[in-house]
Amino acid sequence: MKRLKQVLAGMLILAMVLTPGPSFAMEEPKITAKGAIVMDYDTGQVLYEKNADKAYSSASMAKVMTAYLILDAIHRGDLSWDTMIPISDKARTQSPWDKTPFAEEERLGDLFDPYMVRSNNQMGIAIAEYMGGGSEDGFVAQMNQKARDLGLDASYTEANGLKPNQVTARAQALLTRSIIQEYPEILKTTSKHQARFKDQVYRSTNKFYRDFRYFKGVDGFKTGSAPYSGQCLTTTCTRRGRRLISVVMGSQGKDRRYYDTMKIINYACELSTTSPWAKDVPKRADRENMNTAAYKGLATFRGREPMSRGEFTLLMVLTLALPMEEGQTEFRDVPEDAYYAKAIAAAKKAGLVDGYGEGIFRPEKLISREEMARMVYAAMGYDDSSVDPSFKDWEKIHPLYRKAVAGLTARKILHGRSGGLFAPQGTASREEASLMMLNLRDQVEKKS
């Protein structure tokens, strides 16, 4: 173990010293949302995140979970679109601004589209009471059980988001991805600009279908807004045949959720390309069997995409040529069939990585510059007695990572960005990290 860390330390020093100081990563967008994420629908890869694992209230985006349970019941045969839903006094009087012209009971198929398109809370209460055996609380128990079944970090309090709930941006994105995968017909509903109920026409709450229709590719999904949540928005957008799912939570200011969404989707789309300076990196990575994009099954290198913890671990293992054999990773959130599973198992066995406790590794979480510093620092076995706050944004570096950042910077292993900043939450792109590791391998081969 000690010998391996010594070898790793020497190799990393050689590579990092040769890596240019300023980061090649694209500048991340500045948004007002408290939490946000962009996810590739096909692969589940995270392309952007901000506080994606911190729970916020999702407001009416909770209706996505309600819709999921409705579709589950229909596909099981427990309900049909012709099922008649009794309308209780609670459903008629709660959320009075909806002013829904109910009869004594209404057909489920007539309620579903306006419920999702216009976000009609009265309809949601009636459906939840029926599916919950006469009690909305019974339905909420089903919502939370479904969240557990899907492995989501989410806790619901009622069917519509009229009360504060607790949902992370990552959970909302995964929920949206799952419902589309299982019931793709949901996109026919969430892409509607309006829905009719009796003689009333309900216009969609989603302004991407009118005020912001110039932003191309949007085909769903769900809005949410409340005093306790700020502006929330889940969006599906298809560009050049690639579907993205974005979530913003707690955006502040008039229509900021739309501006925030456009910023992070445009950012994610730019990541699908490779920078001109890195045009030779994909071929070199292929030649050295270090192309992590190929391990992910991507058709192109997509050099500007950020690195996740799982992918960065794979890149380290490929660079060091550690044997990747079948074995347990000891992390319950690392799927056995994931492209990085064997690499995480190998790195764990070699003592190069650890998790967050309780068997959690968070392989899809984007790895920040400060966390990369900590991983390298720990792998090399450094333990400095003092730290030098040499960056203007020193206070933004997490206290647990400051020793690693200072120690590796002093050794000229890590570098800051322009203007005397370290940008601790910035992520390294695939092209940046791959070039660094290719330089590392070149230097090792020259020394051997």
**Is 412 marked as a binding-site residue?**
no
Structure tokens at 70: 């409705």
Q: Residue 115 maps to which CATH number?
A: 3.40.710.10
Residue-level pLDDT at 9: 47
Of 270, 292, 321, the one marking the end of a domain is: 270
Same domain for 13 and 120?
Answer: no
* pLDDT at residue 413, rounded to an integer: 64
Residues 6+ apart with CB under 8 A from 70: 79, 108, 112, 127, 131
Do 148 and 241 fall within a single domain?
A: yes
Which are the contacts of 407, defined by CB distance < 8 A and separation ≥ 6? Answer: 377, 382, 384, 387
Q: Which of 34, 63, 296, 403 is catalytic?
A: 63
Question: Are residues 282 and 249 part of one domain?
Answer: no
Q: Which of 119, 204, 246, 368 is catalytic?
A: 119
Answer yes or no: do 220 and 247 share one domain: yes
Distance between CA atoms of 365 and 383, rounded to whole angstroms? 26
| Per-residue pLDDT, 446 | 62
Beta bridge partners of 48: 38
Q: Spell out the alpha helix ranges (H) of 87-135.
A: 89-93, 108-117, 121-131
Q: Which of 270, 295, 330 is the last residue of a domain?
A: 270
- What is the edge-to-edge ordering of all strands in the sheet holding 154-155? 55-56, 166-168, 154-155
For position 444, what pLDDT does the model report? 56
Residues 194 and 252 in one domain: yes
Residue 413 and residue 266 share a domain:
no
| pLDDT tens across the length of the chain (448 residues) | 454 545 454 444 433 333 333 344 567 899 999 999 999 998 888 999 999 999 999 999 999 999 999 999 999 999 999 999 999 999 998 877 778 898 999 999 999 999 999 999 999 999 999 999 999 999 999 999 999 999 999 999 999 999 999 999 999 999 999 999 999 999 999 999 999 999 899 999 999 999 999 999 999 999 999 999 999 999 999 988 889 999 999 999 889 999 999 999 999 988 878 888 888 999 999 999 999 999 988 888 888 888 899 999 999 899 888 899 777 778 989 998 899 999 999 998 888 888 887 889 999 888 888 887 787 777 767 787 766 767 888 888 998 888 888 877 777 666 667 778 887 877 878 887 888 778 767 755 665 6
What per-residue confidence (pLDDT) applies to 14?
39
Cβ neighbours, 10 Å, residue 212 = 15
Q: What does the alpha-carbon distance between residue 259 and residue 256 come to, in Å, rounded to a whole number?
A: 5
CB distance 57 to 229 below 8 Å = yes
Rounded to whole angstroms, how far apart are CA atoms 447 and 436? 17
Give the per-residue pLDDT at 357. 79
Q: Return the pLDDT at 304.
A: 85
List of long-range contacts for 127-134, beta carbons under 8 Å, 24+ apart: 127/66, 127/70, 127/85, 127/159, 128/66, 128/158, 128/159, 128/160, 129/86, 129/88, 129/90, 129/91, 130/83, 130/85, 130/86, 131/69, 131/70, 131/73, 131/79
Note whether 251 and 291 are same-domain residues: no
Q: Is there a single domain that holds both residue 227 and residue 177?
A: yes
Range of the domain at 56: 35-270
Q: Specify whether 117 is located in the same domain as 198.
A: yes
**Of 248, 270, 292, which residue sits at a domain end?**
270
Catalytic residue among 23, 58, 60, 434: 60
Verify that 353 and 368 share a domain, yes or no.
Answer: yes
pLDDT at 320: 82
Q: Is 178 a catalytic residue?
A: no
Please state whether 7 falls in left (phi above 0), alpha (psi between -120 and 50) or beta. Answer: alpha
Question: Would residue 60 show up in a list of annotated catalytic residues for this protein?
Answer: yes
Taking CB atoms within 8 Å and a gap of at least 24, the contacts of 155-160 are 155/55, 156/62, 156/65, 158/62, 158/128, 159/62, 159/63, 159/66, 159/124, 159/125, 159/127, 159/128, 160/60, 160/62, 160/63, 160/66, 160/95, 160/119, 160/121, 160/124, 160/125, 160/128
Output Rg (C-alpha) for the chain, integer angstroms.
24
Give the C-alpha separation, 10 to 16, whole Å. 10
**Pseudo-torsion of CA 295, 300, 303, 304, nearest 10°?**
-110
* Residues 284, 165 share a domain: no
Residues 315, 333, single domain; the answer is: yes
Q: Is residue 176 within 8 Å of residue 44, measured between CB atoms?
A: no
119 tagged catalytic: yes
Q: How many domains does the chain have?
A: 2
